[in-house]
Amino acid sequence: MKLKTKTFNQLIFLVFFFIASCANQLPPGGGEVDRIPPKIVEVFPADGTTNFDEDYFEIGFSEYVDKRSVQDAIFISPAIEGEIEYDWSGKYLRVNFSQKLKDNTTYVVTIGTDVADLNNKNRMSEAFIFTFSTGNEIDRRTITGKVYDTKAEDVMLFAYKLSDTTTNPLAYKPDYISQAGKNGEYKIMGLAEGSYRVFAVQDEFRDLLFQPVQDRIGIPFADVHLSYEDTIYTGLNFFMTSADTVSPRLVSAVMTDKFHILVNLSEETGFDEKNINPNINADNFSLIDSSSGEIVKPLYAFKGNTKSTEFVLVVPENFPDSDQWYLFADTLKDIAGNYYANDYTILTYSTNPDTNKPNLFKTIPPKASRDVDYLGYDFYFFFNDAFNREEVKSGITFQDTSKRNIKFELTFLDDASFKITTAQKLEPQKDYQINLDLNKFKDAAGNYYDSLYIFNFRTISGLDFTGITGTLTNADLSKNLILVLEGTEQDKKNYTKHINQNTFSFERVNAGKYILWCYYDRDSSNTYSYGSADPFSFSEEFFFYRDTLTLKPRWTQTDINFVLEKR
């Protein structure tokens, strides 16, 4: 079907409407499962049409599509006033406007990747965009970039035209809209001369409004300025992050026995895989008896083997019996950095005895690992109950198979976990062991195992390492550039370097697949900063090397030319 003239289209649509009303859309029987995504094969008006004066546009698809998915995937910039009517005829859709379009205005129609075919729900692989103007000219300025996320096809691009009175654009619906494709690439077209702020938003409700509670967001590293001569801006790339602005609160505090209090928060407490959270320590909490005014400080605080929103406090043996206890927290902080001061909750009291012995539930690396670097390594040990740190220090030894002691440094992560760091060079391809005298690992009730735990491991030969060397092009070395070699496999390892010259190298790298990227560390935090939606702050600019690197053992990949795209 050709969509060229109004009269011809009306006739064809009537024919299709009659046929569609007489038969249901049925999938063909048998054969292979259809995995081909639907495509848009025709539109009216044609892309780039000027002096458009109709009150509708039309879309033709390559196959029957789910009508609801199409209607939810159509976005028009700028927004159309009044109600929109959808008129279907087979594979073709007419979108009717109830009010006249604005004069001398370029309109951009985006059909997003939510469009799915009728039979197998295959989604369009990339967004389709076409433009038309009610005036003599088309605004042809464009912003392009990429969303780096595993669910990039669910991400919308919200573009806001800035003015002197713009405060918080995210409080309003965007002026221009687009959607990222499966590979993350996007294009915002039909832009007029001016300044724009663009956000990548995983708009869960598809209401074209950013909701920080449920929507993830990508913050730009800069605003885009399009002049009369500058018709395209490339490389406005995004990382997605949570925009959580809600502070954590104490939900409950329940004594599981006479020594332990299981504390539950309203959201995750910000522990990483190595149980590090400086706000979860005994000094940050107090227990107050509301009847007597007595104040008791916990002995210990630790994460242990609890849920992501939980942690444990340990009280002294002589903790008084009362049902009027309250738990107070000086400061609570979540993963996003939101904090709440001086929170409290009632304590559910218990006098049940504690008969459980402290268990070692996780180590990093696992016991009997055979890939420990002999030049230096960190070993992590996690228990499910707290212990006296001074006693534990005397119960740890580090030895080789000849029982010779190895120098090490001990760092406590909380009151139930610690890190051991080698303080001397080990030997390659040799067996070692870290011994934990569990007699020293007593909990507050005096429970312990009368045994020796032996954590054994073997160092690598050092011959199987790989590496890379290369050069940087277009890098601004005055902006505190950090280069990242990031593993993509399950046991991925990451390597980072501060770069102050146009050449780089990574040595002693484990073989595997890696991506190479870099960013300008604007805030000198040594970690990538995603920016903030409210209060607004820009993210940090980043760049990706074009290819995934497959690094083989005993071979250094050389002559990598990492070109940082010019804006």
- Averaged in consecutive runs of 10 residues, what is the pLDDT profile of the chain (567 residues)? 48 44 48 85 96 96 96 90 93 96 93 92 91 94 95 93 87 91 91 95 92 92 92 95 85 97 87 63 95 96 92 96 94 80 96 96 95 92 97 97 96 95 94 98 97 96 92 96 94 91 95 96 94 92 96 94 91
CATH among 3.40.440.10, 2.60.40.10, 3.90.700.10, 3.40.50.1980 for 139-243 = 2.60.40.10
User: Any idea which residue has 């990039």 for tokens?
Assistant: 152
Cα Rg, the chain, nearest whole Å: 31
Q: Does the domain made of 466-563 have the CATH classification 2.60.40.1120?
A: yes
- Quote the CA–CA distance of 175 and 194 in Å, as a whole number: 12
Q: Which pLDDT does position 231 carry in this prediction? A: 86
* Pair 274, 328: CB distance under 8 Å: no
Q: Which pLDDT does position 33 carry in this prediction? A: 78
User: How many Cα atoms occupy the beta-carbon half-sphere of 22 within 13 Å?
Assistant: 6
CATH 2.60.40.3710 occupies which residues in the chain? 1-138
- Quote the CA–CA distance of 74 and 40 in Å, as a whole number: 13
* Pair 360, 436: CB distance under 8 Å: yes
Give the number of other CB atoms < 10 A from CB of residue 283.
9
CATH 2.60.40.1130 occupies which residues in the chain? 250-348
The one-letter amino acid at 566: K
User: Any idea which residue has 């049902």 for tokens?
Assistant: 323
Select from 271, 219, 273, 215 the least CA-distant residue to 244.
215
User: Any idea which residue has 């939101």 for tokens?
Assistant: 338
Q: Which pLDDT does position 22 carry in this prediction? A: 45
Q: Does the domain made of 250-348 have the CATH classification 2.60.40.1120?
A: no
Going 276 to 277 to 283 to 285, the CA torsion angle's sign is: negative
* Pair 257, 352: CB distance under 8 Å: yes
CATH 2.60.40.10 occupies which residues in the chain? 139-243
Q: Does the domain made of 360-458 have the CATH classification 3.40.50.10420?
A: no
Structure tokens at 32: 């292979």
CATH 2.60.40.1220 occupies which residues in the chain? 360-458
Write phi, then psi, for 68 (nearest 5 degrees).
-65, -40
Structure tokens at 348: 């559910």
Cβ burial of 399 (10 Å; 0-12, 13-18, 19+) is middle
Q: Which pLDDT does position 276 carry in this prediction? A: 65
- Quote the CA–CA distance of 255 and 18 in Å, as a whole number: 71
Give the number of other CB atoms < 10 A from CB of residue 28.
7
Q: Which pLDDT does position 547 carry in this prediction? A: 94
- Quote the CA–CA distance of 351 and 353 in Å, as a whole number: 6
Question: What is the largest distance, in Å, between two alpha-carbon atoms of the chain?
Answer: 94
Beta-carbon contacts of residue 415 (< 8 Å; ≥ 6 apart): 281, 282, 300, 301, 302, 314, 386, 387, 389
**Hey, what's the torsion of the CAs at 321, 322, 326, 330, to 10 degrees?**
-30
The string of DSSP letters for 366-410 reads: -TT-S-B-TT--EEEEEESS---HHHHHTTEEEEETT--B--EEE
The string of DSSP letters for 253-299 reads: EEESSSSEEEEEESS-----TT---TT-SGGGEEEEETTT--EE--S
**Burial per residue of 438-469, b for 16 or more beta-carbon CB atoms within 10 angstroms, e otherwise:** bebbbbbbeebbeeebebebbbbeeeebbbbe
Q: Does the domain made of 1-138 have the CATH classification 3.30.70.270?
A: no
Q: Which pLDDT does position 405 carry in this prediction? A: 97
* Pair 131, 47: CB distance under 8 Å: yes
Q: Which pLDDT does position 195 carry in this prediction? A: 95
Q: Taking phi first (over 0 means left), then psi (-120 to 50 degrees means alpha), and beta for anything else, what does residue 39 get? A: beta
Q: Which pLDDT does position 18 carry in this prediction? A: 43
CATH 2.60.40.1120 occupies which residues in the chain? 466-563
**Cα 173 to the center of its chain, rounded Å:** 24
Write phi, then psi, for 436 (nearest 5 degrees).
-115, 115
Pairing of strands 84-89, 92-97: antiparallel
Beta-carbon contacts of residue 240 (< 8 Å; ≥ 6 apart): 147, 148, 149, 155, 200, 202, 216, 217, 218
Give the number of other CB atoms < 10 A from CB of residue 288.
17
User: Any idea which residue has 């020796």 for tokens?
Assistant: 452
